[in-house]
Amino acid sequence: MNIKDIVNRDVVNLTNCESEPIHIPGSIQPHGFLLGLRNEDQVIDFCSANCVDYINLTPEQVLGKTLEDIFQKEQSDRFCIYRDYNKDSQTTPFVFVYNEMQYNTSVHLSGKTLVLEFEPFFDGTLSLPDLYNQTRSFVSLMEKHSYLPELSQDIANETRAITGYDRVMIYRFDEDYNGEVIAESKIENLDSLAGQKYPHTDIPVQARELYIRNPLRVITDISYTPVPLFTLNDSAEKSNKSLDLSLSILRSVSPIHVEYLKNMGVGATLTVSLLKNNKLWGLIACHHYSSKLLPHYTRLSALLQGHFLTSQIAVREVAEEFEIAQAADKALLESLTILHKNEDFIEEFYKSPCLLKLANATGFVIYNKGKIYKNGNVPEDGDLIPLFKKLARHYPNAGMHTEQLITIFSEDENLSKHAAGIIYHSLAGGTPDGVLWMREERRETINWAGNPHKAVVHNEAGAVTLSPRKSFELWLEEVRNKSLKWRISEVNSSSSFAYALQKHINLRYVKSQENKHRLLNEELKAANKELANLNWISTHDLQEPLRKIQIFASKVLDKENPDLSAQVKDSVERMRFAAEKMQVLIEDILAYSRTGNTEKVYERVDLNNVLNNVVQELSEIVREKNGIITFGDLPVLNIIPFQIHQLFINLLSNAIKFSQDQLDPIINIEVKTEIPERISGQHDKEEYHAISVQDNGIGFEKEYENRIFDVFQRLHPNHKYPGTGIGLAICKKIMENHSGFIKADSELGKGARFTIFFPKEEVI
Ligand code: BLA
């Protein structure tokens, strides 16, 4: 007969242990023996080498046989009934008897192989646990504790009482599968491992997956010699025949884990999986400091403890999460109350502890108008200010949170000590102002299982292999610059506070602006009053002497006074003329200042009437110059009548005044609807009435189209075209009073066109 063993002899080390196929070691632990039956014909296809120790048969004698060939017929027949009856459940084992020895036999299907694992009864008897009392005790614990840590502590105590292990720990995973001993029950003389944390690498992913499928793992004696599994070599499947032992009780232990436990001084372990939503939440991890074999039913009792705790995990965690959210909410409320009550919140209350508590942060900073306000443990100003600037650039008008700031700004490793993780909110778009909650790097805050085991371990060949210490160091590299995760409740309460703070700052700004405007308004009123005085002075005090000069000059000139030389007469005439000019100038300046200052009384007026009156008023000079004025139908608008009258007077008298020598003035007034171009290339959205006054006069150079509306701007400063240079400035101001504007188009010698624009949708 041709047989072979299926032992996996691949060398496992630190670099490949993550991918070690621990479910097919091809060997078992020696506290029992194993038979694997081909399911189709019940022929024994696998057996462990230690059959010979238990039933005195070598693999050669067992392989290729049936159960009937080995055990008494009555037993194998009973087993067939058991097998068909217990297809889906393995909880009740079968009991085989061989040479008067009873074997507790766990049965499960692995692929096409029915696996039978035989364990001799511990002390030859079957001891059933007291499930009734165990359940009753658990229910009372459940009622006693509302928190998971206390419940876990009692489960650890109970499990140790039931199983008798030296140490029982409840080991909880975080979201990255790093673990923490959250409860421990131990014999007195052992050092405590409670509160210690271990990296996820200590229980690699394939082991965790296995513990989800098979929630009970027993290692009875860490210094055992693995027992190889044998199979027939003449089967049709050629090479790489293996047996998946995922659901097995006796499965041999990964050599790397054996090394780990030896380094810890552990002799035997029992591990029960704790699941939440089909994911591994934690383990009940039991240590014994010598070998320990637990009877089948006591193992099931431990498993039951696991089920008990598992049933409570989700419920209690939701309650815990709720409590944390409530605490954050309470701190938020406290912060908001202080904020709403104090105008100087930022300056006086930035150190309030509730600001940290609302996000369970270790540091908090406000950056407002170039000033930093710090609370708790935070980086230096020199690091913080550039951080605020960068965040504002990356997240303008927005918020963000991260557990690992360094993944966003890789250059900022120096921030990790205090700000490995942050919650950020901008306080004002376009500025670096913002608010930050921060958390320290996790390395800083965790009670790591410091230097827990021997450092480096050498195998027989002298090569360095795994030690837990080494895995710990590797892992430390991985968690560098990382903080604890922000909970949703913490992110929410911090954004609520940030929005409130933003509102507070805006409100303060509006208030201060209001104050400024009030002061400005008062100053303006005082200035206006002064201006009114000035007007009065100009009218009376300046005009009066001028009028006198004119009267006296006229008197002198009117009299035929032979004593006066022609030269004196000429001088007096010039003086009179200068005084007259000055008076016109004063009147124009007054008119200009009045255009802006007088009370604006709008009336609904037909512009045709206004224009008719103006034409009437100018009829004499029009006739003198042989001019013609034509105009179409003008709209009815809300206007200040005397100002629009003045505007048309100015425009039309200019058109007449600046006529060409050999050309009778023709003035054409047209009305259109336009969406005008105010600044070149930029159109208003609104429609306007565009009323244009086109003449055929001397015009002006294109470059003056804008400047022409400036005060004292005279384009033709000679006697032929007299004027003060204020008329068009007045027109401009009048149009501004009507929410409109005025434009000029011209070329020298080709006439000029002035267009006034009134918004169609009247705002007045
Ligand atoms: C398995 N590692 C385990 C198990 C535990 C731990 C509880 C389950 C098996 C058992 O019951 O022992 C880890 N045990 C701990 C920890 C404490 C403890 C953290 O008591 C703390 C108090 N281990 C390593 C590295 C590798 C590794 C680097 O440290 C390889 C990448 C492997 N651990 C490893 C493997 C198993 C394991 C392969 C599965 C063992 C098996 O079931 O065969």
Is 332 a domain residue? no
Do both 160 and 263 map to the same domain? Answer: yes
The domain boundary residue, chosen from 88, 120, 152: 120
Which CATH number do you get for residue 401? 3.30.450.270
Do both 199 and 51 map to the same domain? Answer: no
Is 305 a domain residue? yes
Is 192 a domain residue? yes
Task: Give the C-alpha separation, 296 to 122, whole Å.
Answer: 9
Is 202 a domain residue? yes
Do both 413 and 289 map to the same domain? Answer: no
Residue among 190, 260, 466 whose CB has most ligand 1 atoms within 8 A, to mutate: 260
pLDDT digits (tens, 9 = 90+) for 468-511: 555 555 556 566 788 988 999 999 999 999 999 999 999 988 98
Which residue ranges of the chain lie beneath pLDDT 50? 444-446, 448, 450-459, 461-464, 466-467
Does residue 220 have its Cβ closer than 6 Å to ligand 1? no
Residue 278 CA to ligand 1 centre (angstroms): 20
Domain count, the chain: 5
Do both 511 and 382 map to the same domain? Answer: no
Task: Give the domain extent around 195.
Answer: 131-220+251-321
Is 52 a domain residue? yes
Residue 202 CA to ligand 1 centre (angstroms): 5
Do both 603 and 698 map to the same domain? Answer: yes
Does residue 207 have its Cβ closer than 6 Å to ligand 1? yes
358: tokens are 């609302």
Is 337 a domain residue? no
Do both 628 and 714 map to the same domain? Answer: yes
pLDDT digits (tens, 9 = 90+) for 166-183: 999 999 998 889 889 999
Is 150 a domain residue? yes
Which CATH number do you get for residue 675? 3.30.565.10
Do both 658 and 749 map to the same domain? Answer: yes
Q: Give CA torsion, residues 262, 264, 269, 275, to 10 deg.
A: -130
CB–CB of 262/275 below 8 Å? Answer: no
pLDDT of residue 123: 60
Do both 364 and 315 map to the same domain? Answer: no
* Closest listed residue to residue 659, CA positions, set 688, 608, 701, 697: 697
pLDDT of residue 367: 96
Task: Give the C-alpha separation, 669 to 610, whole Å.
Answer: 13
Residue with tokens 């360095």, as numbered in its chain = 464
Does residue 260 have its Cβ closer than 6 Å to ligand 1? yes
Residue 51 CA to ligand 1 centre (angstroms): 29
Do both 675 and 572 map to the same domain? Answer: no
pLDDT of residue 499: 94
Instruction: Write out the H or E segment, with its range, that includes residue 210.
Output: helix 205-213
The domain boundary residue, chosen from 597, 616, 634: 597
Residue among 165, 203, 269, 291 whose CB has most ligand 1 atoms within 8 A, to mutate: 203
pLDDT of residue 756: 95
Q: Which residue's CA is minimally distant from atom 26 of ligand 1?
A: 202
pLDDT of residue 744: 92
Q: Which residue's CA is minimally distant from atom 30 of ligand 1?
A: 17
Do both 179 and 270 map to the same domain? Answer: yes
Residue 171 CA to ligand 1 centre (angstroms): 12
Do both 429 and 352 map to the same domain? Answer: yes
Do both 45 and 111 map to the same domain? Answer: yes
pLDDT of residue 540: 67
The domain boundary residue, chosen from 564, 597, 630: 597
Is 74 a domain residue? yes
pLDDT of residue 238: 58
Question: What Cα–Cα distance (Å) separates residue 539 from each residue in 86, 156, 527, 590?
Answer: 119, 103, 18, 8
Task: Give the C-alpha separation, 216 to 302, whole Å.
Answer: 9
Residue 35 CA to ligand 1 centre (angstroms): 27
Which CATH number do you get for residue 50? 3.30.450.20
Does residue 170 have its Cβ closer than 6 Å to ligand 1? no
